[in-house]
Amino acid sequence: MPAPIPPAAPDDRDVTAASAQRAHRTRRVRLTEMLPGILLIAATAVALVLANSAASGAWHDVIEARLGPLTVHEWVAEWLLTAFFFVTGVELRDEFSRGSLSTPRRALTPIAAALGGMIVPALIFVAFTAGGPAAHGWAIPTATDIAFAVSLLALVAPGVPAPARAFLLALAVADDLFAMIVLAVFYTPGLHPTIVAVALGLLVGPWVRPRLRRMLERLAMWVVVPAFALVSAGVPLQGGRAGVGGALSPGADPVFCGVLLGLVVGKPVGIILATWLVQRTGRAWGLARARRAGTVAVQRTPASVSWPDLWVVALLAGVGFTMSLLVAQLAFSGGDADARLHTEHATLGVLAASFVAPALAATVYRLLRRTDVA
């Protein structure tokens, strides 16, 4: 019998070319994820520069100019932003039908983490504003901006494994769902356009063609959200337009402190604490079942994500931005000097957290990578 012919060894050049192609695709995916976040940062920077320059008066006149029944700012914040929330509704439907929230077992950890990441920031905000009318803004630091957070994850922690990214997506989607409920119950009497858009996304999600969905996602990420940042993030860094009260510095306003610490501290603490409680409960349940069955329980971290990676994700969840800015405008919509001042300081708190949280996540990520290498 002739000896079997051994399989041909792969050409080193073919292996190298395949590896290069995979690396190229990975870089393209990361760049695609990063670009919306970079554009959003640029739009925010432009808005801040315009609001704190000699052109601030002219810029304010532009965004407050009336186009029919609404101002430019109102058209963007109440109607153009509906495209973003429609896409959010479609994503929610996908996650509940066949994604990370499709079964109770898969949904338990991200839903618990999202709730923990809302409750602790709300408590921190109320601790700063208790007894005053500003406490009505308790929901401002409870939301995570899903698109911005994912973009920044690719930017500040490119080596985080896929399960950590998936956990951030599931967490942010669950967070969006609860944020919509809070918005509808506490801040929008009647049917706000954003609530209607989410409801439509949930209803028609399965019938949205992939090509149309991609077009709407690009419209939301590349046009709508940057436009919202342009008209909403332009607040004075010192003083304000709120009249006599505008001389109050942001640091002296409990609204600013409550929003900043709620997002930067409350979000990660709430997420990690809730995740730990789920793991501890699940471990106790698994040990009890294993003891009854006479087997050994396998202990894993929730969502197969390491605790160091969970800390990176939890810190990055402190990026509130779109939803937090919208809640701030709805919470302090009285129109008087104090309401305008609180809106400005809440906006500054959201913007500050949107830079501090990624910086902390990047620092933790690099420290962990350095430890792994050592």
CB 250 within 8 A of CB 345: yes
CB 78 within 8 A of CB 196: no
Q: Is the pLDDT of residue 204 over 70?
A: yes
Q: Is 189 helix (H, G, I), strand (E, B) or coil?
A: coil
Report how far residue 247's alpha carbon sits from residue 250's, in angstroms, rounded to the nearest whole number. Answer: 9
Residue 372 has pLDDT above 80, yes or no: no
Q: CA 274 to CA 171: how far, in whole Å? A: 12
Smallest Cα–Cα separation from 360: which of 324, 322, 323, 317? 317
pLDDT at 245 over 50: no
Q: Take residue 233 and report the two structure tokens written for it.
A: 């993030």
> Average of pLDDT values for 152-159?
84
Residue ranges of domains in the chain? 35-44+68-233+251-373
- 162 pLDDT band, cuts 50/70/90, is confident
Q: Once rounded to an integer, what is the mean pLDDT over residues 231-237? A: 85
Which of 223, 228, 171 lies closest to 194, judged by CA?
228
What integer pLDDT is reported at residue 135 of this predicted model? 92
Q: What is the pTM of this model?
A: 0.82
What's the average model confidence in pLDDT over 80-104? 85
| Integer Cα distance of 346 and 333 in angstroms | 12
Of residues 189, 208, 212, the one with CA closest to residue 200: 208
Q: What pLDDT score does 47 carry?
A: 92
With residue 70 as reference, give the H or E element that holds it. strand 70-71
pLDDT at position 38 is 86
Cα separation, 235 vs 344, whole angstroms: 6
Asked whether 15 and 143 are in contact (CB, 8 A), the reply is: no
Only one residue has tokens 């698994």, namely: 286
Residue listed under structure tokens 């942001």: 250
* Amino acid of residue 140: I
Q: Which of 29-38, 60-69, 233-242, 290-299 has the highest mean pLDDT?
A: 60-69
Alpha carbon separation from 366 to 13, 158, 360 (Å, rounded):
33, 11, 10
Contacts of 240 (CB under 8 A, 6+ apart): 246, 248, 340, 341, 344
Phi-psi region of 209 (alpha: psi -120 to 50; beta: other; left: phi over 0): beta
Quick check: 340 pLDDT over 60?
Answer: yes
Average pLDDT for 55-61: 89
The CATH T-level fold of domain 35-44+68-233+251-373 is Na+/H+ antiporter like fold (1.20.1530)
d(C-alpha 262, C-alpha 128), whole Å? 10
Q: How far apart are the C-alpha atoms of 184 and 190, rounded to whole Å?
A: 8
- Confidence tier at 153 by pLDDT (50, 70, 90): confident
Q: How many CA atoms lie within 13 A of 284 on its CB side?
A: 5
- At 8, the pLDDT band (50, 70, 90 cuts) reads low
Mean pLDDT of the chain: 82
In Å, how far from its chain's centre is CA 207? 26
Of 45-49, 85-89, 167-171, 302-306, the poorest mean pLDDT is in: 302-306
pLDDT number for residue 90: 87
- 93-109 in b/e burial notation, b at 16+ Cβ within 10 A? bbbbeebbbeeeeebbb
Distance CA 91, CA 99 (A): 9
Q: What is the crossing angle of helices 104-129 and 162-182, to 10°?
A: 60
DSSP bridge partners of 70: 67
User: Taking each helix axis from N to C terminus, what angle separates 82-98 and 162-182, rounded to the nearest 10 degrees?
Assistant: 120
